[in-house]
Amino acid sequence: MALQLWKEMMFSGRFLAEDSIVGEFLPNQNGTKWIWLLVPLIYTLFYFFPLWYISLTPLYLIGALVIYLVLLGVLFLCLRSPRSLAIKIAVVGVLLTTLACGYNSGSNIFFCFFVFYLALCFEPRGALLSLLGVVVCLLVAAYLFDLFQAYFILPGTIPIVGMSIFGVFSRLQRKHQDREAKSQLELEQIAVVAERERIARDLHDVLGHTLTSIALKSQLAVKLGRAGDLDLALTEMQQVADICSESLSEVRTAISGYKAKTIASQVLNLSERLRAQGLAVEQNCNFEKLGAKSEAALSLILTEVVTNILRHSNATKVSLHTENSAHSCTLVIYDNGDVPSVIKEGNGLQGIRERLEEINGRLEIKLDSGMHIIITIDY
């Protein structure tokens, strides 16, 4: 196992597994996460500090190096392992460190690393319990090997507590980052859904009006053809072709999210469509204070309203006029067609209300010798 890890580190440039306990907390620098481990591992060299104050024999030095490499190997396995396995390895590392203190008191530096990784694995309560467990092991080592000296207890306990706290805060910070990333993902998903709904409403508004016009003109062309008036029938079919061409452009505009036409030109275009169906149209509109987003939404709303008038109202007269104030623009659309006893809001009216909510607007419907649709948009 140790040989395999060494080969991975030296020849593949990759030491940490994707699901390792520490790998998820370290920044990814083009596959060189393990390099970030070198700086903290320098502190393991404190293991050799007590050796300066004792008489060394070659055999003792070899034993100290073997223990250091064993503890370092356990530490690497802990880094390399998934969370569930890393906990077990860290516990084994703490026990080995406790025994190693009997050979070299500098082994207590490894308590700091293992308690840090345990704090990463557990919630704060579990991290506290693991901290207490490691401190107990430190005291057990001091008792078994007669190390109740200041140079062992204080340099061991203080870093252990500090590293445990650091591990807890690292875990909490990562959880906070995960929540933010999840929230951002949810916002992106909501934005995607909203965009789909917008496109669906736009296509409904654009195609609903266009298909209605095409159906009416096609029916008229058929009647004129059967009556023998081929010139007028061809004229109507040419208008159908023009409507189809214009509709294709409007569909592209709706999908891209922009409105090429101004609201004023849209009012003129819709007025001509109404007149082409034999309706008398009066219009006196001024939209100078509206922003681009409000104009785009109002263009589609007008298209939906005109479509409903052509489909359902049997009207002979339509009027459109605006009333502007310092804080709002009110558009009133009136037709003298049939008035239902009860208004059932379908996709059309619901879509209008949704569009108005997006631009700080509101809808009001009055039934008085016809239908008044009153649209108010606040600046």
Model confidence over 178-195: pLDDT tens digits?
Answer: 788 777 767 667 666 666
**pLDDT cut 90: percent of the chain above it:** 25
- Provide mean pLDDT across the span 345-359: 80
Pairing of strands 317-324, 280-284: parallel
End-to-end CA separation in angstroms for the chain? 70
Residue pair 20/79 in contact (Cβ under 8 Å)? The answer is yes
CB atoms within 10 A of CB 42: 9
Please say if the pLDDT value at position 336 is more than 70.
yes
What's the pTM value of the predicted model, to 2 decimals? 0.49
Please say if the pLDDT value at position 24 is more than 70.
no
- Provide mean pLDDT across the span 286-310: 84
- Pick the residue with more confidence: 209 or 283? 283
Helices (H), the chain: 2-7, 38-41, 58-80, 83-100, 109-121, 124-144, 150-226, 230-256, 263-276, 292-308, 347-358
Architecture of domain 262-379: 2-Layer Sandwich (3.30)
Q: Report residue 261's pLDDT band, with 50, 70 and 90 as the boundaries.
A: low
Q: Return the SS3 of 367.
A: strand
Tell me the pLDDT tens digit for each residue of 196-220.
Answer: 776 676 677 667 667 777 888 888 8
CB atoms within 10 A of CB 276: 15
Tell me the pLDDT tens digit for each residue of 121-167.
Answer: 888 888 999 999 999 999 999 999 998 877 788 888 999 999 999 88
Please say if the pLDDT value at position 274 is more than 70.
yes
What pLDDT does 110 receive? 94
Please say if the pLDDT value at position 315 is more than 70.
yes
Please say if the pLDDT value at position 236 is more than 90.
no
What pLDDT does 11 receive? 36
What pLDDT does 3 receive? 44
Q: Report residue 231's pLDDT band, with 50, 70 and 90 as the boundaries.
A: confident
Please say if the pLDDT value at position 269 is more than 90.
no
Q: Report residue 20's pLDDT band, with 50, 70 and 90 as the boundaries.
A: low
- Provide mean pLDDT across the span 207-234: 82
Q: How far is CA 158 from CA 7, 109, 118, 152, 167, in A?
A: 36, 11, 17, 11, 14
Among the ranges given (2-11, 61-70, 166-175), the one the predictor scored with the smallest mean pLDDT: 2-11
What pLDDT does 30 receive? 44
Please say if the pLDDT value at position 1 is more than 80.
no
Tell me what the pLDDT averaged over the chain comes to: 80
Please say if the pLDDT value at position 283 is more than 80.
yes
What pLDDT does 9 receive? 39
What is the spatial distance between Cα 306 and Cα 273, in angstroms, rounded to a whole number? 9
Close Cβ partners of 117 (under 8 Å, ≥ 6 residues apart): 21, 22, 78, 79, 86, 90, 167
What pLDDT does 205 receive? 66
Query: How is the chain split into domains, by residue range?
Result: 2-187, 262-379
Residue pair 364/374 in contact (Cβ under 8 Å)? The answer is yes
What pLDDT does 25 receive? 57
Residue pair 116/167 in contact (Cβ under 8 Å)? The answer is yes
- Pick the residue with more confidence: 88 or 214? 88
Residue pair 26/48 in contact (Cβ under 8 Å)? The answer is no
Structure tokens at 79: 């880094």
- Provide mean pLDDT across the span 6-16: 40
**pLDDT cut 70: percent of the chain above it:** 79
Among the ranges given (71-75, 204-208, 265-269, 300-304), the one the predictor scored with the smallest mean pLDDT: 204-208
Please say if the pLDDT value at position 364 is more than 80.
yes
- Provide mean pLDDT across the span 290-297: 82
